[in-house]
Amino acid sequence: MKNIILYITLTLASTNICFSQDFKLTENSKQGLEEIKLKIQAKESADIFLGIGVFYSIFGTGPSLKQAYSISKKDWSLFGEAIVANGKIAKASIRKVCDYQIFHHSTMKKSEKYDKKTIRSNLKFWKTLKGKFK
């Protein structure tokens, strides 16, 4: 959780948007960040498996020298397209988490646990974060 919060903090800092020192994440925001963390980990794992699969299909299915000559530009372009598509899928799923959080915090009412300022700052946080995952 600390790594994703650090990443998000640095991302938001790069946009020159400052949150006050008393900024507090709601429980729902914490769950949203955990969800994003899992999505980022899944994307990284998928990238690794894509890479392993490509290298195995090129070098692991026969004599290396013979296979090395049969590698075409298309093999590498397909690999590149798969990596790019995986990133787009991850960004889209993170935007969906942000959309849910934006909806949740825009409809959230003041309660004993959270005042209006906390709710508004969480709403601003999710809108800003969504903008970084275009």
Record the pTM.
0.74
3-state secondary structure of 46: helix
Lowest-confidence region among 8-12, 33-37, 93-97, 100-104: 8-12
CA dist list (Å): 42 to 20, 38, 55, 86: 32, 6, 20, 10
Domain that holds residue 85: 2-132
Residue 105 confidence (pLDDT): 93
Domain total in the chain: 1
Helix ranges (H only) for 1-134 are 2-13, 27-59, 64-70, 73-107, 116-132
pLDDT, the chain, mean: 79
Tokens standing for 39? 């999505």
Burial of 123 per CB tally in 10 Å (0-12, 13-18, 19+): buried
Looking at the predicted structure, is the pLDDT value of residue 68 above 50?
yes
